[in-house]
Amino acid sequence: MPVLCRPAVAVPEHVLTMEETLELANRMHSRHTELPLVLRLIRNTGVRKRHFIRPVAETLEHDGFEARTRVYAEQAKRRLPDVVGRALDNSGLTAEDVSLIVYVSCTGFTMPSMTAWLINTMGFRPDTRQLPIAQLGCAAGGAAINRAHDFCTAYPDSNALVVACEFCSLCYQPEDTGIGSLLSNGLFGDAVAAAVVRGDDAGAEGCAGMRLERNASYLVPDTEDWISYAVKATGFHFRLDKRVPGTMEMLAPAVRDLVDDHRWDASALDFYIVHAGGPRILDDLSKYLDVPPEMFRHSRTTLTEYGNIASAVVLDALDRLFEEDSQQHSARGMIAGFGPGITAEMVVGTWAALADSRSASS
């Protein structure tokens, strides 16, 4: 079975704290009739700080869609090589060993995709397959893992690289004053993450990580306008329906179905890595899956430390699981990303510990 190796994650150097966010909201929207509600919603996110690619003053200035697209490309090229290099190191591979790059981002657009730049810049083979995904939003982290899983299952002698590049701060729109938009201004952050999926015949048995065993997708019917972008001359305008926080009631059965199909119990897994769009998502998933809240600690820590970093959330939460080093060999777990559609991208599998790690713990 393919193995998802330890991710590499990086957040930018410019930090905005919760206190600073609330002060900005108070100052910039002092006459907003729903300001008390907005402030309460932002506080309730549990986000302590977020990281941005530019200083806050620059982030708050809208310099046009063209300029923002240029910044996206410049910042991606500045930050991707280190993260991709560390992800390759974590897997014990080089760029030449990779046969597919899955690149996900919903916060900027380039054509050709950044996959072409990576191939030309970092030593990937010219025959490396490219799979850029731009429109799955926060679910794209799970989708990228699943497409890499599918590829390495079909081509077990191959390896795939997953890259998530999210600069949510480039989507700030000063003229959007709806409650959903103002809430998003206090929720989203920037991050870059990457991870390698090693094929079964490409040395997967020598890589610690999560053995990917079964994946699935699910779309909640008639909810495609609940999370969306309005694409205007000024760029991407985030739209968030007030019903979104309650979507776990509709998605939890799909999660349970996947685990049931694998003949496991969704309430009794050893680890859970899920997209932390907000605290309600984690609270409800705990309720509907009958799982102790502590089982979502890594996702909640990502939310607290970095905010909602879109498709990069699941990779960061997974990296925290690696850092904790608490999983025994063959521990059962799942990864799930949720996003526009309303869409869920899910995978279940077992933990693979290196042979020397297993002998040390026995």
Picking from 185, 115, 178, 145, the residue whose alpha carbon sits closest to that of residue 5 is 145
Instruction: Give burial (CB, 10 Å; 0-12/13-18/19+) of 112.
Output: exposed
Among this protein's residues, is 207 annotated catalytic? no
Cα separation of 339 and 224, whole Å?
10
Catalytic residue among 5, 106, 138, 152: 138
Cα separation of 222 and 245, whole Å?
16
Cα separation of 109 and 105, whole Å?
8
Here the tokens at position 36 are 């008390």
Picking from 341, 244, 327, 344, the residue whose alpha carbon sits closest to that of residue 289 is 344
| 40 contact partners, CB below 8 Å, separation of at least 6 | none
**For tokens 């897994």, what's the residue?**
269
| 133 contact partners, CB below 8 Å, separation of at least 6 | 102, 103, 104, 140, 143, 144, 147
Q: What is the dihedral of CA 176, 181, 185, 191, to 10 degrees?
A: -110
Q: How many CB atoms lie within 10 A of CB 361?
A: 10
Catalytic site residues? 138
